[in-house]
Amino acid sequence: MDAYTTAAAGPDRAVRFTGSWLEYLPIAATNALLIICTLGVYRFWASARQRRYLWSRTEFIDDTLEWTGTGKEMFFGFLIVIAVLAPFFLFFQFLFPALIAHGKAEAAFGVVFLFEIAIIYLGGFARFRALRYRLSRTYWHGIRGGSDDPGWNYGGEYLGRMALSFISLFILFPWAATRLWNSRWNAMSFGPLQFRADLDAEGLKGRWALVYLAPVGFFFAAIMAGMFAAASAHGGGRPPAGFMAVIMALAAVFYVAIPLLTLNWYAAYFRKAAEATSLGELEFGFDATTLQWLGLFLGNLGLAIVTLGFGITYWGYRNWAFMIRHLHVYGSIDVSEMTQSTTHAPREAEGFADAFDVGAI
């Protein structure tokens, strides 16, 4: 059976999203109400309910996806996270002040450093486990995905590559991000088919250079503006009337230009990452531009403001619809040869991913 697509939103696309905001409204409204009434506890079941709807409205080739995860699994994953992170909070609440009070600042900050390393490690572990869990609960033609890799090694790789990025003042971040994408997806499978990812940083370095150089340029411009103001004040004169305007312009560049340049890099990164990833004979593409990503984020923000916060319940819907509508699949797959995945299906959900606010992709 052929999987192909030639248009951004044509009926011949291999992957399509058929949901509507009006149809999703009762789910969003009841989820929001129950989350408020249960002081946030229902959010695990709300997330499962949301995914069941989104998956069921996503057509892949000749069948819709099915989500089989439950709120109970997500709640169990949350409890595991609480048990793991409790020592961190207890340390900062009680032990850290005690060590400082007893003049053992070196020991206190040494433990803080070790905790920071552990947090970075757990952040990578969380990203891997979230993808593994979501694939294990995603069914198509009764077949699911997953991985037998528990993610411990990936956590160590994530820590190492992030450490090298930090040491290099994040010059090496594109290299780290591409290698981590490959490691994460190469450990995953769907049914009998293995994902393959061969992403490199070529074509991304120039965009990252703009992100990297923007704060450097801002820093030197601010220094020059400060020196100019100091020289004017030292000479007995007042800073020029336009000096504050220059400072405000620099601030605007810092808070607007840098986020836009970062978004520009990530837009290219996702396009290139999709093209470098395959599943059996299926290949992928992603065509969202920087302006389209910006429209998604601004739309989410505006929706939340206009609806006095209720619109946040639509963010998951909008984000999923955006990803599916810009995703393309090429190639062929023989459904008759597909067998069920033999990978381990974890019992716990992506509690660590929720705690560290990272996405599975």
**For 80, what's the count of Cα atoms within 13 Å in the CB-facing half-sphere?**
16
Residue 12 and residue 153 in one domain:
yes
Domain that holds residue 245: 201-275
In a domain, 36, yes or no: yes
Whole-angstrom Cα distance, residue 233 to residue 182? 55
Summarize pLDDT for 81-134 with one digit per residue, the tens. 788 777 777 777 777 777 777 777 787 778 778 888 988 998 899 899 989 999
Q: What share of the chain is helix, strand, coil (3-state, %, to 5)?
A: 65, 10, 25
Average pLDDT over residues 296-318: 94
Q: Grade residue 347 by pLDDT with cuts at 50, 70 and 90.
A: low
Whole-angstrom Cα distance, residue 137 to residue 52? 10
In a domain, 155, yes or no: yes
In a domain, 343, yes or no: no
Q: Grade residue 183 by pLDDT with cuts at 50, 70 and 90.
A: very high
pLDDT attached to residue 75: 87
Average pLDDT over residues 171-176: 94
* Percent of the chain surpassing pLDDT 90: 55
In a domain, 359, yes or no: no
* Percent of the chain surpassing pLDDT 70: 82
Number of structural domains in the chain: 2
Residue 81 and residue 217 in one domain:
no
Residue 148 and residue 205 in one domain:
no
Can you spell out the DSSP letters for 292-349? HHHHHHHHHHHHHHHTTTGGGGGHHHHHHHHHHHTEEEEEE--GGG-----S---SS-
Residue 11 and residue 108 in one domain:
yes
In a domain, 349, yes or no: no
Average pLDDT over residues 40-68: 94
Residue 151 and residue 250 in one domain:
no
Residue 280 and residue 223 in one domain:
no
Residue 196 and residue 206 in one domain:
no
In a domain, 269, yes or no: yes
Least confident of 5-9, 65-69, 150-154, 164-168: 5-9
Summarize pLDDT for 256-274 with one digit per residue, the tens. 888 899 999 999 999 999 9
Residue 133 and residue 215 in one domain:
no
Summarize pLDDT for 206-218 with one digit per residue, the tens. 999 988 887 777 7
Residue 26 and residue 101 in one domain:
yes
Average pLDDT over residues 292-307: 96
Q: Rg of the chain's alpha carbons, rounded to an integer?
A: 24
In a domain, 357, yes or no: no
Residue 45 and residue 93 in one domain:
yes
In a domain, 236, yes or no: yes
Residue 196 and residue 290 in one domain:
yes
Residue 184 and residue 207 in one domain:
no
Mean pLDDT across the chain = 84
